[in-house]
Homo-oligomer: A and B are copies of this chain.
Amino acid sequence: MSSIKIRTDLALEARENMEENAEECRGVYVEEEYHEESEIKVTRVVIETKNGSRAMGKPVGVYVTLEAPAMALPDEDYHKEISDELAKQLKQIIPGIDGELSVIVIGLGNREVTADALGPNVVDNLTITRHMVREYGKVAYNQKRVHMISGLVPGVMAKTGMETQEIIKGVVEMTSPDVVVVIDALAARSTKRLNRTIQISNAGINPGSGVGNHRNAITEETLGVPVIAIGVPTVVDAATIVSDAFEKMMHLAGEEPLEIQDDLFTGLDELYNMYVTGKDVDYEIKQISHIICNALNTALET
């Protein structure tokens, strides 16, 4: 049992940890669906109670994960299948999507760091309609029903000097959207999931989820409107990589290394400021941005 804090932003992985480490937990429901032909696996984790939330280290909410092994590989037809499945799931989770919504889509992350540029990439290429509808009415789109879509790339605190939450809150109060969609690059627990998994959730973004600091939360609670989060694990913490290798080795050696482990990681503090990415990160981020952008355009079409 590892004594270092392993960070994961995926409910799927939080649940895997639970299965290994603890008895079955109440208030957490899981459904799985596997599309034989497209090899897309959809997992729906619903955390219903505070107990469940505590056990999972994640807020109450619905977490849907799409896993597809070839997500980032070059195959445009396959990307369309994933993007259609994602659109379907988005339509189920975005409240009021059958009516007319004002939706703001927010791309979190630093556009100058390849693995973190997912959110900005998606918003840069999204179909934006709010200004047209406000200026010309629905006629601009020859339609009776149109969602008003706006987009924002707030930047990261190191470059803005502001909490991302401050920026978003200000813009939300000024423009009064019905729903906020945030897109973010996540840290995964396992290298196998890098750029192969998309998670959508109505629990919003909770930095340090459950572990304290909610100052930066981007959630219905903090913004006053429903927040749908779309996340893709694009990095693994360096500390996680080391811890994994360490556990694997101990397992092979059949040893119980509990007493030395804390010392070990004490000396490896710097690992918490480093992250690990695959060598094709630029290509893979581009592919997945494209998938998410198309899914949002499809889901928000009327």
Contact = CB atoms under 8 A, between A and B. Distances in A.
A149 B169 CA distance: 19
Chain copies in the assembled complex: 4
A150 interface: yes
Interface residues of A, number: 67
A171 B173 contact: no
Secondary structure class of chain A's binding surface, majority of residues? helix
Given A110-B282, A241-B242, A150 B170 contact: no
Contacts of A21: none
Contacts of A173: 170, 173-174
Nearest to A126: B159
Nearest to A174: B170
Nearest to A157: B131
A279 B268 contact: no
Contact of A114 (B114, B166, B172, B257): B114
A130 interface: yes
A155 B166 CA distance: 17
A238 B240 CA distance: 11
Contact of A264 (B129, B159, B236, B245): B245
Interface string A116-158: 0000000110011111100000000000000011111101011
Contacts of A149: 161
Given A151-B155, A170-B172, 12 more contacts: A113-B282, A131-B163, A148-B161, A150-B162, A151-B161, A158-B283, A170-B170, A170-B175, A241-B276, A245-B268, A246-B249, A276-B276
